[in-house]
Chains A and B, each alone.
Chain A
Amino acid sequence: QQPVQSPQAVILREGEDAVINCSSSKALYSVHWYRQKHGEAPVFLMILLKGGEQKGHEKISASFNEKKQQSSLYLTASQLSYSGTYFCGTAGPGSARQLTFGSGTQLTVLP
């Protein structure tokens, strides 16, 4: 079942912060975050694993609440380059290597 992302869209000014949420109705083993710019392929941002392990890069952080089956992506001091659509992909214990993606959150950073 597809995870639910919120908000669907957000517009903010350069330097402002944003939080994107991803919620699943199923038990999660891992949450993956990707960013896709218009007309381009999705690019990896972050993986969060059950148990607290986190793999990622860039100045972006995320949390993973296993009990609530939720993850949040934190974008601080947004830059113009952060604009794009953010997708979370979730994997459950039974299908840990196959991701189910949310419908995306469109982030627009204005100067």
Chain B
Amino acid sequence: GAGVSQSPSNKVTEKGKDVELRCDPISGHTALYWYRQSLGQGLEFLIYFQGNSAPDKSGLPSDRFSAERTGGSVSTLTIQRTQQEDSAVYLCASRSISSGGYNEQFFGPGTRLTVL
């Protein structure tokens, strides 16, 4: 497809379980971002990948959150021992790095995570 895709679209889990959220960025986009959006709130930055550089993990809220990006393309966000406050929509975005590098981010449809 031409856009950013995320899976699953919805995930319901029980407190204490681990979950994995997947993001497929636009082909050729070397920058990839994960955000969290709680109900009625703005976009909270979680983590940023750029090429082969070390990811910027400064937004991860706790050590239960981790993310990796394999082969510079697909990314997986893992939340261990989920808590009810983890319930939110998790958005992935990708961006191309061209001259200047200040280009728009393309967002995926998000994964709605509900922790019971």
Contact = CB atoms under 8 A, between A and B. Distances in A.
Contacts of A80: none
Interface residues of A, number: 24
Interface residues of B, number: 25
Given A97-B48, A104-B42, A44 B102 contact: no
A41 B43 contact: no
Contacts of A89: 43
Interface in B41-65: 41-45, 48, 50, 56
A102 B107 contact: no
B27 interface: no
A61 interface: no
Contacts of B109: 40-41
Interface string A29-57: 01010100000111110010100000100
Interface string B11-28: 000000000000000000
Contacts of A99: 45, 105
Nearest to B50: A97
A10 interface: no
> Which among B33, B43, B44 has the greatest number of chain A C-beta atoms within 10 A?
B43
A90 B9 CA distance: 28
B31 interface: yes
19 contacts: A32-B105, A34-B107, A41-B4, A41-B91, A42-B91, A42-B107, A44-B106, A47-B102, A49-B102, A91-B102, A96-B101, A96-B102, A97-B31, A97-B50, A98-B45, A99-B45, A99-B105, A101-B42, A101-B45
Given A42-B91, A44-B104, A101-B45, 20 more contacts: A30-B102, A32-B104, A32-B105, A34-B107, A41-B91, A41-B107, A41-B108, A41-B109, A42-B107, A47-B104, A55-B104, A87-B43, A96-B102, A97-B31, A97-B50, A97-B95, A98-B45, A101-B42, A102-B42, A104-B41
